[in-house]
Structure 1
């Protein structure tokens, strides 16, 4: 296998963009820098020629990092990363896993120092300036960053792998409008974290559709709403008391099981449409019992696999890494709850 631009950049201590410029014979590159690049390329070629028969590519070390927040979904992602170890080994990827309090600048900076020796980083980012700085620092060190499940599009990340969360939110908005019908009332949009870009995108898409097509509904948002079932149940009780015209609840993150149980116990479920994300054993059962009306879901393990493969493609300088197909959002109703 020929030396990739990433390999040359690492050996020469320059960026991939600089390697590209040298290989294009760009005269704007300083002569000493161009000489380092050519020397690195020659050394890599000599190393490969001396090995005789071409060997398989060495394994790549990829770090998977999730934010340290209370989230059943992220706990599931953590399990699926662990269960993907054999898949990654087949593709010569050695994975390591970290949970980090990304809301802490000190913790994020400390973790970045540990990650600098990895070949690539797969990250579920939080929207903080120091997280963007961490991504920039990793990129400057020729460690490509792939964001997964939740994006940070303004950062220097190399690729995003996950569903289109704005479209997922628009889908939820369309279904909410259709389920509510001609009734006039309020819909509550509950989000677990305003620092997770996926939840911001879902809220945006949802409100766009209600504004465009369902003028009979007004919406209110409750950001930074707790995901545990007890807190979620208490939150919806408060919403019911403060908004007697409540006709729908859309949950962009976790906590929907607690809300469904509370609505059932209070007898209010018959007049409130409930839509959320994450198809689990609990939410499947609640779909069957009509405690939840719609669940939007994604192939978590498949997305984890794609993120690892995207990192490998970046390291191997494979063109078309950004053409990874966008995963589909699955829609579960009572009729296909156990499909």
Structure 2
């Protein structure tokens, strides 16, 4: 491996000793394969965060622990690495621990690993479970602040939350579902995920409460990703369509894949989807928005959320004035006519 970075920087990024890094760089034996992988990942992270190494100031290593589909973790990495160079006065470097549908015990293990490797702070997206809450408390006791991202752990020792106002997002979805149908909609499908994320619970609560208040005659069918093991979202939608001839709208409250299955499920049943609303403007949803497969995307400024998360971590460590505060980003209602970035139609 070429000596592109200082051994000290690689060791800090990997959370191992300089001696271990030297062994790996020179191909010497006596290092576990998993540790060798950690060193290689650290070098890759430093390559992407190269601009941070040229900055002066105290360096903090932030662990980003996110349980989510790959498209979301990719968006988090890219948004954060674009944000890092503008953060002041400290220099932040990030280590990433990503997973998809990890158990609470596995997430808690990643938090313990972050503490072992000498973390200065953690940005966390994880299920609201006792194991994770306990791991956050242990980090706080060791002086490692945690900021939750996109989905909160309200009963934990986290110092702040940064992300969309999930209850408001669900309420917005209910308002749009009812109004989009001209007030005559009779039945809607609410699609939920398989995990115990507080943010998703808040979205669903906001959706159901607002729908009952504004459109009390609308029936709601709920399907969960885990209700039939191995069943795809399209299968669940088709079953719901067969059970209710009036169902003509869908709100997907979670970020897993498969949104394209929804319009295909309607077509397979010879039905028309009158309204389909999803979260997050990732490439799949951009494509569906272009082609009419999705009517509305509820979006938020992920880069802004990450800036506020890093700001809160620096406040918690006394590097910036004031106490860390939670901040909920606004809900953006995106149609084919007002995308946050240029989105060609057709």
Distance in 1, matches of 2:74 and 2:261, equals 17
Aligned position for 2:315: 313
Distance in 2, matches of 1:64 and 1:248, equals 36
Q: Would you say the 8 A contact 1:162–1:327 is kept in 2?
A: yes
Aligned position for 1:65: 65
Q: Would you say the 8 A contact 2:149–2:163 is kept in 1?
A: yes
Report the Cα offset of residue 262 of structure 1: 3.5
Aligned position for 1:9: none
Distance in 1, matches of 2:167 and 2:314, equals 27
Aligned position for 2:108: 108
Report the Cα offset of residue 333 of structure 1: 1.6
Matches for 1:106-255 after TM superposition, within 5 Å: 108-109=108-109, 111-116=111-116, 117-224=118-225, 231-254=232-255, 255=258
Report the Cα offset of residue 324 of structure 1: 6.1
Report the Cα offset of residue 105 of structure 1: 1.9
Distance change >3 Å, CA 90–CA 263, structure 1 → 2: farther
State which drifts further: 116-125 or 195-204. Answer: 116-125
Aligned position for 1:21: none
Larger of the two Rg values belongs to structure: 1
Deviations 1:227-272 (A, max 9, x none): xxx9222222222122222121100123323313443565523x53
Report the Cα offset of residue 113 of structure 1: 3.9
Secondary structure in structure 1 of the residue aligned to 2:232: helix
| TM-score, length-scaled by structure 2 | 0.72
Distance change >3 Å, CA 262–CA 90, structure 1 → 2: farther
Secondary structure in structure 2 of the residue aligned to 1:256: coil
What is the RMSD of the two structures over their aligned residues, measured on CA atoms?
2.7
Distance in 1, matches of 2:265 and 2:120, equals 47
Distance in 2, matches of 1:303 and 1:124, equals 12
Report the Cα offset of residue 127 of structure 1: 1.4
Report the Cα offset of residue 106 of structure 1: 5.5
Aligned position for 2:304: 302
Q: Would you say the 8 A contact 2:178–2:185 is kept in 1?
A: no
Q: Would you say the 8 A contact 1:59–1:93 is kept in 2?
A: yes
Q: Would you say the 8 A contact 1:103–1:128 is kept in 2?
A: no
Distance in 1, matches of 2:69 and 2:199, equals 16
Distance in 1, matches of 2:195 and 2:211, equals 20
Distance in 2, matches of 1:79 and 1:208, equals 35
Report the Cα offset of residue 58 of structure 1: 1.3
Q: 1:332 aligns with which of 313, 328, 334?
A: 334
